[in-house]
């Protein structure tokens, strides 16, 4: 939680308490609630590399994913598939399957999932591009996560988008773990649409408000299909005209009056990010921290290189407690995350290590059945945190 988020939320509680509904229009701190999102859109656009009008701050990630898919996933008998990574975040899997069903399609046929090669944990760019070359004409929508939540792989967004567009596919991105984590250039990369939440690397608060991007080239073509008053032009919104007149672009897709407390909290965190210089310096710091944590973890006596796991555990049946790192070793293919896979898989070691780490004050993220994600977040973690993190992983393994 940023100090600024806390202060801004408290300020808005104060305005609510003193002004009530009037705060929508007349706000003692010059943040009238009806136009609060105008303060957020420019900062958010900077985070994802978009023009201000290509970004909307609205709703929640999965809702935005459905809204965008409803506009952009238009299967035909020849071109109907959704290409995505295997083991995508479950909410996305549910969304893909339900969107396919809504078009009368069998999800097992419509959804094309790419898995890593045998003995590998992450997808190879060449395999993704080859699939697009081979099957592109039957793919309606390419939708990967920018940074994969489980493995931490940062997909090559630019090259996948380029290939998808060459093949005539729509290309969308789920940036839940990428926004605020890695530098993005959605406009320049010619991405069609993207959605993200703000409560991971953007620290907006649990369940905070989400974001959506639609490239401006779509402004005249994709109009909001599920209209709501917040998508209506601000100038006449409160005159309550009977006919919907949407804001041009993705902001026309807004439906409801957003939670001001969620907006205030996000504003605090985005202003903090802005003060730190936005994504380039933050990424530099992130590279340092993640690199340092990786180096320390690899010095552990329990560390097993990913290339040896198959031989040692699957073929030779070792039962020695250990861990490997399944996140790509190449810094340009990852953000501020290392996913530790505890070995042997299915042995329950991960759960024990996770609870010991918590007792030492190391808050990682447990991913059943065998992974702990450690994310040295550059806005608030230090090198000392990385040293402690690695030291306590070692201690927790010693205690097994």
User: Residue 128: which residues within 8 A CB-CB, separation 6 or more?
Assistant: 114, 144, 155, 160, 163
Among 91, 159, 300, 388, binds ligand PLP (CB under 6 A): 91
Considering the complex, what minimum distance in angstroms separates the CB of residue 113 from ligand PLP?
14
Q: Find the shortest distance in angstroms from Cβ 220 to ligand PLP.
A: 29
- Segment 191 to 220, residues that bind ligand PLP, using CB under 6 A: 197
Ligand-binding annotation for 145, yes or no, is: yes
Q: How many CB atoms lie within 10 A of CB 113?
A: 14
By C-beta, is 95 or 325 nearer to ligand PLP? Answer: 95
Q: Per the annotation, does 388 bind a ligand?
A: no
Q: Is 177 annotated as a binding residue?
A: yes
108 marked as part of a ligand binding site: no
Closest approach, Cβ 174 to ligand PLP, in A, equals 5
Site string (226-265) toward ligand PLP, x via CB under 6 A: ----------------------------------------
Q: Does 89 bind ligand PLP (CB under 6 A)?
A: yes
Which of 196, 161, 191 shows the shortest CA–CA distance to 177?
196
**Contact flag: residue 61 with ligand PLP (CB under 6 A):** yes
Q: Which of 177, 187, 215, 285 binds ligand PLP (CB under 6 A)?
A: 177
Q: Quote the CA–CA distance of 35 and 241 in Å, as a whole number.
A: 19
Which residue number, 95 or 396, has a Cβ lying nearer to ligand PLP? Answer: 95
| Burial group, residue 289, by CB count within 10 angstroms (0-12, 13-18, 19+) | buried
Q: Does 145 bind ligand PLP (CB under 6 A)?
A: yes
Exactly one of 176, 178, 340, 341 binds ligand PLP (CB under 6 A); which one?
176
**CB–CB of 212/68 below 8 Å?**
yes
Window contacting ligand PLP (CB under 6 A); options: 13-21, 85-93, 158-166, 302-310: 85-93
Q: Which stretch binds ligand PLP (CB under 6 A): 41-49, 171-179, 309-317, 324-332?
A: 171-179
Smallest separation (angstroms) from ligand PLP to the CB of 63: 7
- Residue count at the site for ligand PLP (CB under 6 A)? 12
Tell me which of 92, 222, 294, 385 binds ligand PLP, using CB under 6 A.
92
Least separation in angstroms between CB 44 and ligand PLP: 15
In whole angstroms, give the CA distance from residue 328 to residue 311.
19
The binding site for pyridoxal 5'-phosphate comprises 61-62, 89-92, 145, 174, 177, 199, 229, 257
Instruction: Write out the residues near ligand PLP by the rule CB under 6 A.
Output: 60-62, 89, 91-92, 145, 149, 174, 176-177, 197
């Amino acid at each position: 939680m940023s100090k600024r988020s806390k202060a801004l939320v408290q300020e808005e509680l104060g305005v609510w308490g003193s002004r009530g509904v009037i705060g929508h229009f007349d706000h003692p701190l010059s943040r009238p609630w009806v136009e609060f999102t105008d303060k957020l859109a420019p900062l958010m656009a900077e985070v994802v590399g978009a023009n201000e009008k290509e970004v909307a701050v609205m709703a929640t990630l999965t809702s935005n994913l459905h809204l965008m898919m409803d506009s952009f996933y238009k299967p035909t008998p020849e071109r109907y598939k959704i290409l995505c990574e295997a083991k995508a975040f479950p909410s996305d899997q549910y969304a893909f399957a339900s969107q396919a069903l809504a078009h009368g399609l069998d999800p097992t046929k419509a959804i094309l999932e790419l898995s890593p090669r045998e003995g590998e944990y992450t997808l190879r760019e060449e395999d993704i591009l080859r699939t697009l070359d081979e099957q592109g004409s039957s793919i309606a929508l390419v939708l990967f996560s920018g940074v994969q939540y489980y493995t931490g792989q940062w997909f090559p967004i630019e090259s996948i988008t380029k290939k998808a567009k060459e093949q005539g596919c729509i290309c969308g991105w789920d940036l839940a773990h990428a926004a605020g984590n890695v530098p993005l250039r959605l406009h320049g990369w010619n991405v069609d649409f993207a959605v993200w939440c703000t409560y991971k690397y953007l620290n907006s608060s649990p369940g905070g408000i989400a974001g959506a991007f639609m490239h401006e080239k779509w402004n005249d073509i994709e109009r909001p299909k599920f209209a709501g008053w917040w998508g209506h032009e601000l100038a006449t919104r409160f005159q309550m005209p009977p006919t919907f007149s949407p804001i041009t672009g993705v902001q026309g897709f807004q439906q409801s009056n957003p939670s001001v407390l969620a907006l205030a909290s996000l504003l605090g965190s985005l202003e903090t990010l802005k003060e730190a210089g936005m994504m380039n310096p933050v990424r530099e710091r992130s590279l340092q921290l993640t690199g340092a944590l990786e180096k320390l973890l690899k010095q552990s006596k329990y560390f097993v290189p990913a290339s040896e796991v198959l031989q040692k555990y699957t073929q030779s049946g070792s039962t020695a407690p250990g861990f490997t790192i399944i996140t790509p070793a190449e810094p340009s293919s990852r953000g501020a995350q290392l996913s530790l896979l505890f070995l042997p898989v299915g042995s329950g070691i991960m759960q024990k290590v996770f609870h010991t780490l918590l007792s030492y004050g190391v808050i990682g993220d447990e991913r059943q059945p065998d992974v702990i994600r450690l994310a040295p977040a550059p806005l608030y973690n230090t090198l000392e945190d990385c040293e402690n993190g690695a030291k306590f992983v070692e201690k927790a393994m010693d205690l097994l």
